[in-house]
Amino acid sequence: MSAPPLRVFLVDDEPLAVKRLARLLKATGRVEVAGSTTDPETALEFLAKGTVDALFLDIQMPGMSGFELLSRLESQPLVIFTTAFDQYALRAFEVNSIDYLLKPVETEQLERALNKIERLRGAARPDLHDVVERLAAALRTSAVGYPDKIASRTGDRVQFVELARVTHFQARDKLTYAVTATKSYVVDASIADLEQRVDPKKFIRIHRSTLLNLDHVDEVHSWFAGGVVVRLKDEQRTELPVARDRVRALKQRLGF
């Protein structure tokens, strides 16, 4: 008799990430998605009332981190952390984590994580509340700091791009790109999500689709109809339009 499907719950503040992960899990034929949410508080309410075999959990979320969510649970479920930032990987394994998946999540890595869940389903697990609470506190007080790299996955290959090299992040054609002077890399995060995660001293939102690295700004030019354009230091002299409602903030950050 075959084992019953794994019951899992998904938590990620990015709706597209939740939908994609749910689709991949259902395609395996091994999983029942018991629920999903972009709101950690909703996840706490669900998990307080019912049990699941595993929790797929984003680490860095506005309002409440994945570590904070775990610290508020009475019992620790099997956890698979999902993150676009590699610096959280080792910290994830300090808690009751089966695995971590770098975004964008791929089928091969997902199958590996599901295999681990099945092996450990029903096994006794230690109480790690103290560890989780320490990690949650560290994240709250910024002891973790801002990431210096971001992951970009192509097929089964994951490449880590130094944020210092990223001139800007740009959303286009339903994807988000980390753009450097020589190449663009697809990353699994929205501009709004990245704005919350990267160092605000380095990056500023200049348009709903553009997050700019101030270290790569060479010139700022007035444009027609009162608009402003940023010109970068790269060989292409890339020009990025600034939304009118963001011009003032940009000028303040650049000091003119």
| pLDDT tens, residue by residue, 232-241 | 999 999 999 9
- Asked if residue 178 lies in contact with residue 190, where contact means CB atoms within 8 angstroms, the answer is no
- Asked if residue 66 lies in contact with residue 47, where contact means CB atoms within 8 angstroms, the answer is no
- 3-class DSSP state of 62: coil
Distance CA 251, CA 204 (A): 11
Closest of 175, 189, 195, 209 to residue 58, by C-alpha: 189
Distance CA 53, CA 36 (A): 14
CATH for 149-254 is 2.40.50.1020
Q: State yes or no: pLDDT of 22 exceeds 90.
A: yes
| pLDDT tens, residue by residue, 72-114 | 888 778 888 887 665 555 555 555 566 777 777 888 889 988 9
Identify the pLDDT of residue 212: 97
Beta strand 168-172 with 175-179: parallel, antiparallel or unpaired? antiparallel
Q: Above pLDDT 70, what percent of the chain?
A: 83
- Between 169 and 151, name the one with better pLDDT: 169
Closest of 76, 31, 29 to residue 57, by C-alpha: 76
* Mean local confidence (pLDDT), 156-183: 93
* Mean local confidence (pLDDT), 19-42: 94
Residues of the chain with CATH 3.40.50.2300: 6-140
Distance CA 118, CA 28 (A): 13
Helix (H) or strand (E) holding 37: strand 31-37
Sheet holding 217-222, edge to edge: 217-222, 228-232, 239-242
Confidence band of 175 (pLDDT split at 50, 70, 90): very high
Distance CA 161, CA 180 (A): 9
Identify the pLDDT of residue 239: 95
CATH for 6-140 is 3.40.50.2300
Q: Which residues pair with 35 in a beta bridge?
A: 9
Confidence band of 248 (pLDDT split at 50, 70, 90): confident
- Asked if residue 46 lies in contact with residue 9, where contact means CB atoms within 8 angstroms, the answer is yes
Q: State yes or no: pLDDT of 131 exceeds 70.
A: no
CB count within 10 Å of CB 12 equals 26
> What's 206's DSSP letter?
E
Q: State yes or no: pLDDT of 128 exceeds 60.
A: no
Backbone angles phi, psi at 36, to 5 degrees: -155, 160
Q: Above pLDDT 90, what percent of the chain?
A: 40
- Between 184 and 256, name the one with better pLDDT: 184
Identify the pLDDT of residue 91: 57
Q: Which of 2-6, 15-19, 33-37, 90-94 has the lowest mean pLDDT?
A: 90-94
Residues of the chain with CATH 2.40.50.1020: 149-254
Confidence band of 143 (pLDDT split at 50, 70, 90): very low
